[in-house]
Amino acid sequence: MAHRDGYTAFVSSTAGRRIAGTLGLPQPVALRRHVAGRPLLDGPLLVGGHGDTPALAALRDGLTAAGAALVEDVPDEPRLGGVVVDLSAAEGPADLESLRATLAPALKRLGRCARVVVIGRDPALATSAAQRAARRALEGITRSVAKELRAGATANVVLVADGAEANALGTVTFLLSARSAYVDGQVLRVGAGSATAAPADAERALEGTVAVVTGAARGIGADIARTLGRDGATVVCVDIPAAGAQLAAVANEVGGTALQVDVTAPDAGRRILEHATSRHGGLDVVVHNAGITRDKLLANTDAERWAGVLEVNLLSILRMNEALLGSDGLRDGGRIVLVSSIAGIAGNRGQSNYAASKAGVIGLVDAYAADDDLRARGITVNAVAPGFIETEMTARIPLATREIGRRLNSLNQGGLPVDVAETIAFFAAPQQATASGNVVRVCGQSLLGA
C-alpha cells in the first residue's frame, strides 16, 4: 500500500509542524484510518437537530451499538469525536438555525479527524418552495463547514427517504468511521426499501460473497482487492496478461484467484462469469476499476488515443455488463461499483478523452440504478470518483502539477488507494441494499469541480 507523502510525514513531526506553522505552509495531519478493533470515534458523539429529529430517533440505538457514546451537550472534556445533526424535519430556511445552534459550539471542541454528519431529505421530493430551499441549503452549509474544519476532520451530508430513516445507519456509521478518511464535502443518499440486517461481525461485512475486481494487479485495484478480502469476500483479481506476475501476487495475498483477461476482449464478461461460477460458485460484487489515461490536449488527440481510453474505461464496462447483468449473471442482491474520477465531473486540461470516459461512467450509474429489472433483483449500482490518490499513475505527473493536485483540497494531502477501496467496500456490502445511484467523490473535498 502507498504511504504518506514526504511532506505530510515532515509536518507530522514536532519540528516540521513548527516550521510549517511559521512559514504559513499547509499543515496536513496523518488521517485516522481503519484498524480492526479501534473504537468508531475517538471521543463522544454529539447529537442534535431540528424538531422531533425523526432520523436520530431511528438511528440512536444503532449508533450506540456501533460503539458511539452519544451526548446531547458539548462536554468540557474530552474533545468530541463527531457530531450528527438531524435536519430531516426542517420545513423552511428559519429551521436552519437549529443546525447553526448545534454546530457552532461543537466545532470549537472537535478532536483530531473528527466527523460532522448532517442528515436531511432529498430536495427534489420537497412539497413546498421553502422546504426545498432548506433541504438544498444543507449542502451549502456542510460543504462550507468541511472547508473550515482542520486537523483531518470531515463533514458530509446524508439524505434519507421519508420513512426509511433506519436505513441510513450503515451510511452514517461509515461516514463517522475511519474508513471514510478521505471522503469530505459529499452528499450520500439512502433510499426506501427494506434494509438488510447488520452483519454478525462488523469487520467481516462481505463474508460469504464473491467479488471481481478489474485492474487488480496494482494501484487502487490491488487495494480494493485487499480491502474486500479483509472484509471477508472471496476475490477474483482480473488484469491483463502482461501484469500476470503482480496479479498472481495480489490474488495470493488476498486468498483469492487470478484471472488474466483484457477487459476489452469481446468475451471478457463471459469469461469472468465462468471463472467466478466454476471456481467460487457464483458472483455477488463487480468492481469496474481497470482504467488508463492517454493525456493530450484535444487539438492533438488522434482517433487512436481517443478510442483507446474510451474502449478500456467505458465501452468495455458496457460490454462486460451484458454478460454480468444477464439473468444467469450477478446473483440477486448483487453490487456493481464503478470507478469514475473527479476529472469526469470537473473536466481536466489534456484529459478530454479520459473525462469523457469517466463522465460516461456516471451516466452508466444513472442508467443502471434506474433500471427496473436490476432494482427488482436487488442489485445496486454506485460509483466512486477519486481525486488525487497516491499511485504510480499520479507519481508520473510532473512535480509542480503534482504538488498542486495533492494540496488543493480541504485535507491538504493526497488520498491513499485504501481510501478509495474503503468506500467501494462500503457500497459492496450486502447491508447497503438501499444505497444505489450514488457518485461519491473520494477527494478530500478537492477544489477541482467542487
Ligand X SMILES: NC(=O)c1ccc[n+]([C@@H]2O[C@H](COP(=O)([O-])OP(=O)(O)OC[C@H]3O[C@@H](n4cnc5c(N)ncnc54)[C@H](O)[C@@H]3O)[C@@H](O)[C@H]2O)c1
Q: How far is the CB of 250 from ligand X (least distance, A)?
A: 9
Q: Which of 177, 218, 237 is nearest to 39 (CA)?
A: 177
Nearer to ligand X, 85 or 240 (CB): 240
3-state secondary structure of 191: coil
Rg of the chain over Cα atoms, rounded to whole angstroms, equals 21
User: Cβ of residue 261: shortest distance to ligand X, in angstroms?
Assistant: 7
Q: How far apart are CA 402 and CA 222, in angstroms?
A: 22
CB of 414 to ligand X, least distance (A): 8
Binding site for ligand X (CB under 6 A): 214-215, 217-221, 239-240, 243, 262-264, 289-292, 312, 339, 341, 386, 388-389, 391-394
Catalytic residues: 354
Residue number, 195 or 421, with CB nearest to ligand X: 421
Instruction: Name the residue nearer to ligand X (CB basis): 186 or 391.
Output: 391
C-alpha span between 263 and 344 (Å, rounded): 20
Strands ordered across the beta sheet of 335-339 = 257-260, 234-239, 210-214, 285-288, 335-339, 380-386, 439-442
Q: Quick one: 44 or 415, whose CB is closer to ligand X?
A: 415
Least Å distance, CB 134 to ligand X, is 34
DSSP, collapsed to helix, strand or coil, labels residue 210 as strand
In the chain, the amino acid numbered 7 is: Y
206 burial level (CB within 10 Å; 0-12, 13-18, 19+): buried
User: If you count them, how many residues does the chain have?
Assistant: 450
Nearest approach, Cβ of residue 271 and ligand X (Å): 12
Residue 330 or 339 having the CB closest to ligand X? 339
Phi/psi of residue 337, each to 5°? Answer: -125, 125
Q: Which three cell numbers stand for residue 49?
A: 437537530
Q: Whose Cβ is closer to ligand X: residue 43's or residue 344's?
A: 344
CA–CA dist 72, 141 (Å, integer): 21
Rounded CA-CA distance 85/97 in Å is 12
SS3 of 386, please? strand
The cell for 282 is: 457464483
Cis peptide before 78 (omega within 30 of 0): yes
> Shortest distance, CB of residue 340 to ligand X, whole angstroms?
7
Q: Is the Cβ of residue 394 or residue 410 nearer to ligand X in the bound state?
A: 394
Distance CA 319, CA 259 (A): 18
DSSP H or E stretch at residue 287: strand 285-288
Could you tell me the smallest distance in angstroms from the CB atom of residue 386 to ligand X?
A: 4
